[in-house]
Structures are given as C-alpha cells and as structure tokens.
C-alpha cells in the first residue's frame, strides 16, 4: 500500500514539474504575464478596461516572442528589447509615429518668404569649426516623439 501511494505521489509531482517547465505551459504564460506587468509599470501604461488590457497583453506577447526569436540569431551584432511601443501592432505604430504630418498652409513654398542661408560663404572655415559656437546648431535636446 505504501509503494502504491509513493508511486501515485511521484506521478503527480512529476506531471506538475514537467508542466511547469515545458515551453508554452502554465509557467511560460505566467512569465509573460509578469513581464507585461513589469513593462506596464516601467512605461506607466494603464488601460481603460480589462478587455483592452487583455488585447494589449496578446500583442505584447507576440512582440516579446519576436524579440526572443530575433535575439537567438547569433549572426546579428545587436539585440532587441521591449520598449514603450511593445503593446502596439506594426500597423498601429506606423499609423501613429511614421509619416510626415504637414501643418495646413505649409504645403507650398512661397519664394518671397524664402530666406537665404545665413552661412553662405563657408569656404574660409579653417581645419575645423564648432558650429555650436557660431550659433548655427544647438546641443542635443529631448524631443519626445521625435527622438533625440
């Protein structure tokens, strides 16, 4: 009787262990959920309701899987990681962040208002010149959605 109990206990424990460590099992889903929660905290993401959170989590999981698969390629000299856009589909990202939005009234160039370049004659600049000192450029600034 003791050996049967031991055998049943061993079978139960081994099935739980194998389920927890197999790819795509409960353990894997839990890890993705934890990563999503950490990501939400890091990027201050809050969803309007549970349905949106579930939808965004599914997109996040697909993007996380893409990152993992990409990073397994040893022929590439850089690695990907999640960022503030990791809960967006490619289509959503392109629609929000790519393409030029020209303000109304700026679609045509008016030749009367076109100014000449301030530094037209730059032939005598010497070996080097710090254009910041000349007032031609400024230092790097954080530009939000535009990047740095």
Give 87's Cβ-side CA count (13 Å radius): 21
Is 63's pLDDT higher than 80? Answer: yes
List pLDDT tens digits, range 77-103: 899 999 999 999 999 998 888 877 777
Tell me the torsion sign for CA atoms 140, 143, 144, 146: negative
Q: Please, which pLDDT band fits residue 67 given cuts at 50, 70 and 90?
A: very high
For the structural domain made of 36-97, what CATH number should be given? 1.10.287.2250
What's the mean per-residue pLDDT of the chain? 76
Distance CA(21)–CA(14), nearest Å, equals 11
Question: pLDDT higher for 124 or 19?
Answer: 124
Question: pLDDT higher for 28 or 87?
Answer: 87
Where does residue 67 rank: exposed (0-12), middle (13-18), buried (19+ CB within 10 A)?
middle
pLDDT at 20: 40
Q: Where are the domains of the chain?
A: 36-97
Torsion of CA 89, 100, 78, 81, to 10 degrees: -40
Is 139's pLDDT higher than 80? Answer: no
Is 17's pLDDT higher than 70? Answer: no
């Amino acid at each position: 009787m003791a050996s049967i109990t031991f055998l049943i206990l061993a079978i139960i424990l081994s099935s739980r262990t194998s389920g927890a460590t197999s790819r795509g099992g409960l353990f894997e889903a839990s890890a993705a959920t934890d990563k999503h929660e950490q990501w939400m905290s890091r990027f201050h993401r809050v969803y309007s309701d549970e349905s949106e959170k579930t939808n965004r989590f599914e997109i996040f999981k697909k993007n996380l899987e893409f990152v993992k698969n990409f990073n397994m390629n040893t022929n590439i000299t850089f690695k990907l990681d999640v960022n503030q856009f990791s809960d967006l589909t490619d289509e959503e990202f392109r629609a929000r962040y790519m393409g030029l939005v020209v303000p109304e009234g700026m679609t045509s160039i008016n030749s009367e208002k076109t100014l000449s370049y301030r530094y037209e004659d730059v032939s005598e600049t010497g070996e080097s010149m710090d254009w910041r000192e000349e007032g031609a450029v400024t230092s790097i600034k954080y530009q939000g959605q535009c990047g740095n």
